[in-house]
Chains A and B, each alone.
Chain A
Amino acid sequence: MVKTQKRAVKETLTAFAWLILPAGLMLIFCLYPAAAAILRSFMDYAPSGSRWIWFGNFSALFNDAVFRKSLLNMLILVSGGLLTGNVATLFLAECLFNMRNRKASKAFRYLFLIPSLVPGMVTALLWKNVILSGDADGLMNRLTGLFGAPPNAWYFSERLSKASIVLTNFPWVGGISFLIYLAGLQSIRESCLEAAELDGVTVWKRVWHIDLPLLLGQIKYFLIIGIVGGVQVFDMQLIITDGGPNYSTTVPGYLLYLKTYGYSAVGEASAIGVLLFAVTFTAMTIANKVLARAQKDAA
């Protein structure tokens, strides 16, 4: 009796001993930076000496017209990205799912994966310099020119800059996400689809009433991943637009980067980080709740 107890204690201790390393690593590399950012968001931070200014950074941000504009820009760009990305990949997955020629369907699956092998930087530069180039020789400008439109500046036009960013990577299907939707479609029970076919249900009705409700799990995943990624991303701003023209593409993430590395305003940058965390968390929770309810209704 005593012996088994002793052994149990020993085993627990060993387990804890093994846990020290990962727990310590978590503390140092995951928890500490986040905690430091939260603390610094309440400070006028400088490596040589910081002081507490409590909500000073936050009020400075909300008094800044550029920051307020950037929040709106982020909302538009994230919504645009979520919409285009998910609708397009779902469309492609449905197309491939409904394709009777299995060989063709398989071949296309390979081909659509190729673009994900090209570094994102390269694609962005190709879009900037060739496809959506503001030059009269730019591909899109030549295309719209056929209809008599004057050349546009695309990324560098205040009117079109956000649309251009959303348009980038058209038709938004390269990568692996369509495979996840396709797998979701393939896991729908054969009997369910056969019944629908026998009842003479049209493709559109089937997509709307059977496929989509059964894909809600995948949609939820992409929505949440899309929100988390979309709020943080500023690659196009960094590579192409520099947040312009007239701040029409500035997003909080890009301001965070500028304030940290360009302007040494670590306190304000941390405040942006904390706000972004709050925004992401709220949006995620809402998306989760709404979709969970939809899933329940579908079931």
Chain B
Amino acid sequence: MSKLKGFLLIGVWATAALSFGGCGDGGKVKLYFDGGGGSGNYNSTISMAQSAANPYPYNTLEQLAKEWNRTQDKFEVVVNSGSLNGRRDAITSMLSAGTAPDMLYQVGGVVNDDIGKGWYIPLTDYLARVNPYVGGGQKWSELYNGKELSPAADGNYYYICLDKVLVGYLYNTEILNAAGVTKIPETYSEFFACMDALKAAKANGTIAAEAFAHQGFWGEIQLNTSVYGGKVGEWDLDGNSAVSSYELIKAYKEGKWRIDSPEFREYLRLCAKRASYYPDNYLAYDTALNFSRGKLAVTDGLGNHMRIAEKGLGSKLAVGGYPKLDAGVSPYGGHTVARGSAGLSTAYWVTNSASGKGNDAVEACVDFLMFLSAPRNNSRMVNDLGFALPIEVSGNTTELFAPLAEQYGEDSSSDETLMWSAVNVWGSFGQEFSDTYERSMGEFYQGKRDASWIVSTLESVFPDTVDKLAARYNWTF
């Protein structure tokens, strides 16, 4: 019996020790911040000494959190030492258990998959409030360009973005010059001319490098918007110059478009033309490594890819936004799609963990996010890492990105410009459909299948995909 008592005593003692151990530090409630980032990582690096093994030392986000903590007497933000990096298997498990970080990083694209689960705090009302960290009584939403903010399927805003992602082509100027190309292409006519020059130079032995290989589907998204640009006016219902999933499906249900259309086939023709410059075995081709080694003339990528390529190529690297699709290349061309940046990125979500700590905690999280989005703090946070553009693009200080920041600044000030992903007829219908698309494109680019095969593959699953989405979000048309 006394043994049992002993065990019980130890149990009680251990429980007590554990529960008190959790909140020793001055009694402030801790709010955990996930770090992460769309094209860099805002968690602190292990040391601030720069070296070849630690090339991008960074701790500005943590510094900003400390500055904010000094102004608070009830809460303190703790930046986690590593991020979940948007890994959905870990994140969904933590969210359903209520143990996710209070402020979580993941891509905005997943929002419609998670609506109705009560995992995130809607930020819609907060966006209409004044951001105290910006002068002049500005509303929080006014920091953002109206075209860049996009609501979830239920009309609410669930995340706030803290940087702008760079996107565009990366050129090895040494190879381009050897092939006789001296100007970075600004239109697709020029781009294809550049490709032909590279191909010819390789054929006659002037250069040894491959012409072009892509690193992701960003270029396809820009081409898609370029081809469908003329439809935005017709399909966009809320006047934000972008077509949301709901608007696309409504237009589809009203018989205004289908996958099998002249536009989509034109889009596939352009994609195939672009892919005709890929190396053999392109699916297995290590694009980033070969580009860094100077064995590939052109690729595309985000800010992080540009910085890493810069390490290998130095001043030989030039970057430029995706060129404009001009009427000379395509009958659907002529629409301006913002160059240089794909718009807002690095989305932070206030999670159910924060609301579990009370409404005060949610307010504190929102306040911290407002603090981080205020231009003077935001530019520090983003520029010190140097993988993306700050929300206020003119605040960019990373030299490599200057041409992109300039292009984006120029384009986004015009009303006629469409955002990079204003219309996306394959990426707007959930992960399963875009996976199907990306996998079939792999076959298409290898020349194993033709455009009609892609069209019929997508058409065969599209009606079901659309109905499932509509049922899930209770959409009626």
Touching in the complex, A and B, CB below 8 A?
A: yes
Residues of A within 8 A of B (CB): 46-48, 129, 133-135, 150-158, 242-247, 257-258, 260-265
Residues of A within 8 A of B125 (CB): none
- The smallest C-beta distance from A8 to any residue of chain B, in angstroms, reads 20
The residue that B284 contacts in the complex, of A155, A243, A258, A265, with Cβ under 8 A, is A155
Residue in B closest to A262 when the chains form the complex, CB atoms: B431
What chain A residues lie within 8 Å of B6 (beta carbons)? none
* Complex alpha-carbon distance, A155 and B286, angstroms: 13
Instruction: Please give the distance in Å from B94's CB to the nearest CB on chain A.
Output: 13
Minimum distance in angstroms from A126 CB to a CB of chain B: 13
| Contacts beyond the supplied A153-B281, A262-B435: 12 A-B pairs with Cβ under 8 Å | A47-B117, A48-B117, A134-B285, A135-B284, A135-B286, A151-B280, A156-B284, A245-B283, A245-B439, A246-B442, A262-B431, A263-B432
Q: Is the CB of B96 within 8 A of A156?
A: no
Known: A262-B88, A264-B113. A134 touches B284 (CB 8 A): yes
Q: How far is the CB of B11 from chain A (nearest CB, A)?
A: 13
Bound complex: CA A150 to CA B279 (Å) = 13
Known: A47-B117, A48-B116, A247-B439. A262 touches B284 (CB 8 A): no
Q: Is the CB of B281 within 8 A of A245?
A: no
Q: What DSSP secondary structure best describes chain B's contact surface?
A: helix
Main secondary structure of the interface of A (DSSP, over half): loop
- Known contacts A48-B117, A135-B290, A263-B431, A156 near B443 by CB under 8 Å: no
Give the interface size class of chain B.
20 to 34
A-B contact count (CB 8 A): 63
**Given known A151-B280, A245-B442, A247-B439, contact A261–B286 (CB-CB < 8 A):** no
Chain B, residue nearest A128 (CB): B284
B281 touches A134 (CB 8 A): yes
| Per-position 1/0 for B81-108, Cβ under 8 A of A | 0000000110010001000000000000
Q: B430-477: which residues lie under 8 A (CB-CB) from chain A?
A: 430-432, 435, 439, 442-443, 446, 448, 472
CA distance A157 to B448 in the complex (A): 11
CA distance A156 to B281 in the complex (A): 8
Q: How far is the CA of A1 from the CA of B36 in the complex (A)?
A: 72
A and B contact pairs by CB, cutoff 8 A, 9 listed: A46-B472, A134-B281, A156-B283, A156-B284, A158-B448, A246-B439, A247-B439, A263-B431, A264-B113
Query: Is there contact, CB below 8 Å, between B89 and A244?
Result: no
Complex CA distance for A257 and B439, rounded to whole angstroms: 17
Task: Find the A residue at minimum CB distance from B449.
Answer: A246
Interfacial residues of chain B within 274-288, with CB under 8 A of chain A in the complex: 280-281, 283-286
Q: Say which residue of B96, B285, B439, B472 sits within 8 Å of A244 (CB atoms).
A: B439
Instruction: For the complex, give the distance between the alpha carbons of A265 and B92 in Å.
Output: 13
5 closest A-B pairs by beta carbon, nearest first, are A134-B284, A156-B283, A153-B284, A156-B284, A153-B281
Chain B residues with Cβ below 8 Å from A158 are 448
Most buried by B among A157, A245, A247, A260: A245
Contact A47 B443 (CB under 8 A): no
A residues less than 8 Å from B439 (CB atoms): 242-247
- Cα–Cα distance between A250 and B62 once the two chains are bound (Å): 42
Chain A residues with Cβ under 8 A from B281's Cβ? 134, 151-153, 156-157
Closest to B440 in A: A246
Contacts of B96 in A (CB 8 A): 47
Known: A152-B281, A246-B443. A262 touches B432 (CB 8 A): yes
Q: Which residue of A lies closest to B90 (CB)?
A: A261
What distance in Å separates the Cβ of B92 from its nearest Cβ neighbour in chain A? 7
- CB A137 to nearest CB in B, in angstroms, measures 9
Residues in A whose Cβ lies below 8 Å from that of B283: 134, 153, 156-157, 244-245
- Cβ–Cβ contact A129 & B286, under 8 A: yes
Contacts of A48 in B (CB 8 A): 116-117
Q: With the chains together, A237 CA to B293 CA distance in Å? A: 28
Bound together, the chains give a CA A261 to CA B91 distance in angstroms of 10
In whole Å, how far is B286's beta carbon from the nearest beta carbon of chain A?
Answer: 6
Q: Answer whether A245 and B286 are a contact pair too, CB < 8 Å, given A262-B88, A263-B432.
A: no
In the docked arrangement, what's the CA distance between A156 and B286, Å?
A: 12
CB-contacts of B171-193 with A (<8 A): none
Give, as a whole number of angstroms, the nearest-CB distance from B8 to chain A: 14
Q: Which chain A residues border B290 with CB–CB below 8 Å?
A: 135
